[in-house]
Chains A and B, each alone.
Chain A
């Protein structure tokens, strides 16, 4: 099913929301930096995920949302043994 919005309309409609969310992210990162123990927090695996996800936003789309989801996901191992496998 095709997207009905043109790229221009999508930009018009979601620009302010996108701007707002980016500034929220910047402020969240600033808040972490200002707190005691900022140097240790930067090494936290979640901060590593955040940095990787932000890099993903700068990559080519579409598919950025899916790529970001995978950055925040535990990998799947297809070698696991399901209890009902014969």
Chain B
């Protein structure tokens, strides 16, 4: 089955992963800008990272017939440094019109601090003023519930951003309803130990339906599996869901969300 992984950090994966994903049916993916595993020393390091996301990775993906899209921002963890964040935000417009950029992301909260909230709102301001899509990271573990609710409050205050142009990611059992009820797209991350399993994601699809739901692997530097979306496809099949229903979640929904970006073309 053809699928799209709407959240995966390919800069931290091997070329072999592109090949395995292509074998499993991956036709496109999107890569949000994130933390590199260490705090970067200057805004210049982000400039190089944005070049990697907009110049190099699309070529590496194309070797396996996979379309590569990306999102730009300074991640929530490094957003604690407000001065650095503002330098990076000021640089983003230079890259926004590159053809594989879908919008601003993954912005969000990490430890739910005032500095993170300030920089989150400044990213929202940039997205609203440029009419860009937004992809949002919600915090991990004990911080997720509070952080997700804070994010929804801040989104509500930015009335220029239409809910159907925003995806709130890393949803789990205690946050999914809040996100969907507010009208946003909602991502579920299949990630060992700290997020959702294919079984639990399928439970949530059965509970909340397939509208505005996306499923991703978030494959990155940490223990994660770039083949997680095919695992969800298998789980849904084994539970008796039809191919059309599965395809809506793993292909049509991300395609529809990406299509809202004016730079996105249905065919490459």
Closest A residue to B176 using CB positions: A66
Q: Are A76 and B206 in contact (CB under 8 A)?
A: no
A73-B149 CB under 8 A given contacts A1-B245, A84-B158: no
Interface residues of B in 95-130 (CB under 8 A from A): 112, 114, 117-118, 121, 124-125
Q: Is A74's CB within 8 Å of the partner chain B?
A: yes
Chain B residues in the interface with A (C-beta under 8 A): 112, 114, 117-118, 121, 124-125, 141-146, 149-150, 153-154, 157-158, 172-174, 199-200, 203, 205-207, 209-210, 238-241, 245
Q: How far is the CB of A80 from chain B (nearest CB, A)?
A: 7
Main secondary structure of the interface of B (DSSP, over half): helix
Q: Is the CB of A69 within 8 A of B145?
A: yes
Given contacts A4-B206, A82-B150, 13 further A-B contacts (CB under 8 A): A1-B209, A13-B238, A14-B199, A65-B200, A65-B203, A66-B173, A69-B174, A73-B144, A73-B145, A74-B142, A76-B145, A82-B121, A83-B154
Q: Does A57 touch B at the CB level, under 8 Å?
A: no
A65 to B207, CA, bound (A): 12
Q: Is A43 an interface residue (CB 8 A)?
A: no
Give me 22 A-to-B residue pairs in the complex whose CB atoms sit less than 8 angstroms apart, sorted by A's number: A1-B205, A1-B206, A3-B206, A4-B206, A4-B239, A4-B241, A5-B239, A65-B203, A70-B145, A72-B142, A73-B142, A73-B145, A75-B146, A76-B146, A78-B149, A80-B150, A82-B153, A83-B118, A83-B154, A84-B158, A85-B153, A85-B157
7 closest A-B pairs by beta carbon, nearest first, are A4-B240, A69-B174, A73-B145, A76-B149, A66-B173, A84-B121, A65-B173
Central interface residue in A69, A70, A72, A78, by most chain B CB within 10 Å: A69
Q: Contact residues of A with B, CB < 8 Å?
A: 1-5, 13-14, 62, 65-66, 68-70, 72-78, 80, 82-86
CB distance from B103 to the nearest CB of A (A): 18
